[in-house]
Amino acid sequence: QSALTQPASVSGSPGQSITISCTGTSSDVGGYNYVSWYQQHPGKAPKLIIYDVSKRPSGVSDRFSGSKSGNTASLTISGLQAEDEADYYCCSYRNSDPSILFGGGTKLTAL
C-alpha cells in the first residue's frame, strides 16, 4: 500500500512560518476528518501534535495548526523555533486495508 504523500524536506528561518502538505485520496484524507500529525525528534518516539485535522492536544503549542482541503491536509508551524527541527508524519484513517496510513515523513530544518 502507498503511504500518504509528504515532501521529503522543508526548511525555514527562525520566526518564519512553514507548511507541510500531506496528500491522499478520497478514501482516506479527503473522506474523513481523521487526520493526525506527529513530531519525531531523532532517537525519540513520535509525539501527537494535531488530531481530527485541526485539534491540538493539551500542552501542544498553538504555533502548530492543521487544516484540510480536499484530499490534502496541511500542518503549519508559525514562529519557527530551533526546537521545531524534527521529522513530521501525517496519518489518516482509510476505508480499506490498511485502515491507518502514515505519510512518508517530512524532515524540517530550521536554518
Binding residues for another protein, per CB under 8 A? 1, 3, 32, 34, 36, 38, 45-48, 51-52, 57, 89, 91, 93, 97-105
Q: Decide whether 14 or 44 has the Cβ nearer to another protein.
A: 44
Q: Decide whether 3 or 76 has the Cβ nearer to another protein.
A: 3
15 φ/ψ sector (left φ>0, alpha ψ -120 to 50, else beta) = left
CB of 70 vs another protein, minimal distance in Å: 19
Strands (E) located in 1-111: 9-12, 18-23, 35-40, 47-50, 64-69, 72-77, 86-93, 100-102, 106-110
C-alpha cell at 65: 495548526
CB of 102 vs another protein, minimal distance in Å: 4
CB of 17 vs another protein, minimal distance in Å: 23
